[in-house]
Amino acid sequence: MSTTTDFQKITEQISVPTNLVDAAITQGIQAAAPRRKQHRRRITIGLAVAVLLLGAAITPATIQAGGIVPAFTQLLDQDGAKTHNFDPTMNMLLGNLYNQGLYDKVSVPAQRVGNVQVQPIGTLSTAGVVAVLIDYAGPGMQPDQLRRQTEQVDQVSGQHIIDTESNFGKVALGHYRQVIAFYTQGTAPVQAINLQLGKINGTQQTLAFKQLPVTQRPLQETVINQQSTVKAIHGGKITGRLTTIQQAPEALVVNYTLAFSQAGLSARWLENYSEAAWISEATVYDGQKNLGLLELGSGGQFLRTKTNAGQVTSQFQSIFAKSYGSLGDQHSLKDAPADAVVKFRLEIPGRRPNRQQVGTFTVPVRQLLTK
């Protein structure tokens, strides 16, 4: 029996909400009408802003690929051998998630729950994504209980990861392998994680694995330094700047800022401008021909803000796979035409007519390929 699962082939066709921001404001986390038939995106609401504001402004949020609900766990197929609906962008960022050779080996003692042995065996880090590989083996394995298991991942630095993707694959009789993956935040690499697993194999037992080391793959950084200034709907001028792009062969981490004066802004709009700005769309063009969207991992991750003499500057981050088109017709960015460009669109979210496009940044594809 093969010990790997080809998630790219089994990923289901998923739809995209028509209007991500309006849908979030009016329906919370309910699905909206489809916009593209090939994939959909998820809005993950921060813990401090779980209830969306009524009115024109939108609370800080993060657009992510894969659905409309935060932090969902994938389920086993009927044969217990493979799973559907794993965030399709994760497949593109990490490749074959069950290929143990992709991971840096982790040497930690196995722990037991009854007759089942549980052991993390590797971690993997690339641009914007971290994954951990876990083995479950023993005569007491109950595959139907795997879907009820809980997972919590925290960075050793203290950041709790609220949105993980989890998947199981069958290796052999009584032997299952799990991938837990999450999008990272910030420019500093994740050096170690703490992992907690609950309801193991249908029990109430919880296991904790501390200080699992993570080795960051080398990332290439490209300085872009493009900016666009517009008159804000509320307040004065707003300047968006695309600063740098960190990249691995499979992924891009796009770093950008939003700057404005706080003079004359209400508290609500000050918060909105400070903590909500999205590059969630990146379109590949060959001349005037639209070749498709880059696959979105997450867009609009708020990192930090600072104020100096009344001028506010906030930093944000978005993650894209180096793949464009649709799930049924994907193309690698390295295979794009030589003169192709990617246009990154920066928006301030809000209910129309208060949504505002700050600017579009055009970057040649050749600058987005690792050397």
> In the 3-class helix/strand/coil scheme, how is 11-76 assigned residue by residue?
CCCCCCECCHHHHHHHHCCCCCCECCCCCCEEEEECHHHCCCCCCCCCCCEEEEECCCCCCCECCE
Mean pLDDT of the chain: 75
Q: Strand 278-286 vs strand 251-261: parallel, antiparallel, or unpaired?
A: unpaired
What whole-number distance in Å separates Cα of residue 270 and Cα of residue 102? Answer: 44
Given a cut of 90, whether residue 176 has pLDDT beyond it is: no
Residue 25, beta-bridge partner list: none
Query: Regarding predicted confidence, which is higher, 85 or 284?
Result: 284
What whole-number distance in Å separates Cα of residue 291 and Cα of residue 297? Answer: 19
Given a cut of 50, whether residue 67 has pLDDT beyond it is: no
pLDDT of residue 192: 94
Digit-coded pLDDT (tens) for 76-133: 333 444 444 455 666 666 655 556 777 899 999 999 999 999 999 999 888 888 889 9
Between the CA of residue 313 and those of 93, 289, 307, what are the distances in Å? 30, 35, 6
Residue 314, beta-bridge partner list: 258, 305
Closest CA to 168 of 297, 79, 64: 79
Tokens of 70: 């935060």
Query: Regarding predicted confidence, which is higher, 76 or 305?
Result: 305
pLDDT of residue 93: 64
Given a cut of 50, whether residue 310 has pLDDT beyond it is: yes
pLDDT of residue 179: 85
pLDDT of residue 29: 25
Q: Each residue of 222-245: b (16+ CB within 10 Å) or e?
A: eebeebeeeebebbeebbbbbeeb
Given a cut of 90, whether residue 250 has pLDDT beyond it is: no
Which residue's structure tokens are 């246009």? 343
| HSE value, Cβ hemisphere, 13 Å, CA-based, for 127 | 29
